[in-house]
Structure 1
Amino acid sequence: MNETFMKEKPVFPLLMSMALPMVLSMLVNSLYNIVDSFFVAKISEDAMTALSLVYPIQNLINAVGIGFGIGLNAVVAFYLGAGDRKKADKALTQGMTLAIIHGILMTAGGLLVMRPFLKMFTSSEHVIQLGWQYSVIAFSFTIIIQIGLVYEKAFQAVGRMNASMISMLCGCIFNIVMDPVLIFGTGPFPRMEIRGAALATGLGQVVTLAIYLLLQKRNPMSIHLVREDWRPDGWMIKRLYSVGIPASLNLALPSILISVLNAILAAYSEVYILVLGIYYKLQTFLYLPANGIIQGMRPLVGYNYGAKEYKRVDRLFWIVLGLCGGIMAAGTLICHAIPGTMMGMFTSSPETVEAGAQALRIISIGFLISSVSVTASGALEGLGKGTPSLVISLCRYILIIIPAAYLLSRIMGAKGVWHAFWIAETLTAVIALVVYRKNVKSHRDIKA
Structure 2
Amino acid sequence: MTTGPITSRLFYLAWPLVVGNLLQTLYNLADMFWVGRVSSEAVAAVSLMFPLSWLFVSTAMGLSAATIAMVSQHVGAGNDRRADAVVGQTMLLAVAVASALAIAGYLGRHELMYLIGARGDVRVEALRYIEVIFLSLPLTFLFIAFRAALQGAGDTKTAMWLVAISAVANAVVDPFVILGVGPLPAMGVRGAAWATFGARGLAAAVGVYILLRGDWGIKLHPGDLRPDRELLAKLVDVGYPSTLDGWARSFAAVAMAGLVARFGEAATAAYGIGIRYMSVTWTVSGAVGQATATGVGQNLGAESPDRAASVAYRATAATMALLFAAGGLVWLVPATAMRIFVDDPAVVDEGVRFLRIVTIAWGFFGGLMVLQGAFRGAGSTRIAMALSLCSRWLFRIPLAVGLAFGWAITIPLLGVEIAALDWGAVGLWWAYAVGAIASFALGLVWFLRGTWTEGVIDRADEVPTDSTASGGTAGDTRSGTDPARTTETDVPDE
128, 134, 137: which is aligned to 2:132?
A: 137
C-alpha distance in 2 between matches for 1:442 and 1:217: 33
1-side partners of 2:79 and 2:379: how far apart? Answer: 16
**What TM-score, normalized by structure 1, do the two folds share?**
0.93
1:38-437 aligned at under 5 Å gives the runs 38-122=33-117, 124-216=119-211, 220-409=215-404, 410=406, 411=421, 412-437=423-448
Larger radius of gyration: 2
Check the 8 A contact 2:211/2:219 in 1, yes or no: no
Partner Cα distance (2:251, 2:116) in 1: 13
AA aligned opposite 2:23: V
Separation in structure 2 between the aligned mates of residue 133 and residue 266 of structure 1, nearest angstrom: 19
Residue 95 of structure 1: how far off its partner (Å): 1.1
Question: Would you say the 8 A contact 1:75–1:239 is kept in 2?
Answer: no
Helix, strand or coil at the partner of 1:348: coil
Cα offsets for 1:270-328 (capped at 9, x unmatched): 32222222221111222202222222222121111111122221221111112211221
1: CA distance, partners of 2:186 / 2:345:
28
Deviation at 1:123, TM superposition (A): 6.0
- When structure 1 is superposed on structure 2, of 120-129 and 367-376 the one drifting more is 120-129
Counterparts of 1:442 and 1:67 in 2: how far apart (Å)?
A: 20
- Counterparts of 1:165 and 1:235 in 2: how far apart (Å)? 32
SS of the aligned residue for 1:443 comes to coil
Q: Distance in 2 between matches of 1:268 and 1:217?
A: 50
* Residues 214, 220 of structure 2: 8 Å contact kept: no
Cα drift, residue 405 of structure 1: 0.8
AA of the residue aligned to 2:158: A
For residues 349 and 139 of structure 1, the distance between their equivalents in structure 2, rounded to whole angstroms, comes to 31
- Between 267-276 and 380-389, the greater mean CA deviation after superposition: 267-276
Offset of 1:227 from its aligned partner? 4.5
Check whether the contact 1:167–1:209 (CA below 8 A) recurs between aligned residues: no
The secondary structure found in structure 2 opposite 1:7 is coil
Question: In the superposition, relative to structure 1, how do residues 160 and 266 fare at CA in structure 2: closer, same or farther (>3 Å)?
Answer: closer
Contact kept? 1:115, 1:128, Cα under 8 Å: no
Aligned CA RMSD, in angstroms, stands at: 2.1
Offset from partner CA, 1:126-151 (integer Å, 9 cap, x none): 22111111112121111111112111
Report which stretch shifted further, 71-80 or 270-279.
270-279
Q: Which amino acid aligns with 1:124?
A: R
Report how far residue 386 of structure 1 moved: 0.3
Q: Where in structure 1 are there 5+ consecutive unaligned residues? A: 1-5
> Which string of whole-angstrom CA distances, capped at 9 and with x for unpartnered residues, describes residues 98-127 of structure 1?
111111111112212322222234463322
Q: Shift in Å at residue 407 of structure 1?
A: 0.9
C-alpha distance in structure 2 between counterparts of 1:408 and 1:148, whole Å: 40
Counterpart code for 1:426: I
Q: Corresponding residue for 1:3?
A: none
Identity of aligned residues (%): 26
1:234 offset after TM fit, Å?
3.4
Aligned equivalents of 2:93 and 2:350: distance in 1? 44
Quick check: which one's helix share is greater?
1
1:146–1:266: structure 2 CA closer, same or farther, 3 Å change rule? closer
- Which digits, 9 at most, give the CA deviation of each residue in 1:213-265, with x for residues without a partner? 44345553443334444343333223212332222232333321222223333
Q: Is the 8 A contact 1:53 1:118 kept in 2?
A: no
What SS does structure 2 have at the residue aligned with 1:154?
helix
Indicate the larger mover: 245-254 or 149-158.
245-254
Measure, in 1, the Cα distance between the counterparts of 2:144 and 2:308: 25
Deviations 1:39-87 (A, max 9, x none): 1111101111111121122101221124312211111111121223343
Q: Summarize the Cα distance change of 1:269–1:186 in structure 2 as closer, same or farther, 3 Å threshold.
A: closer
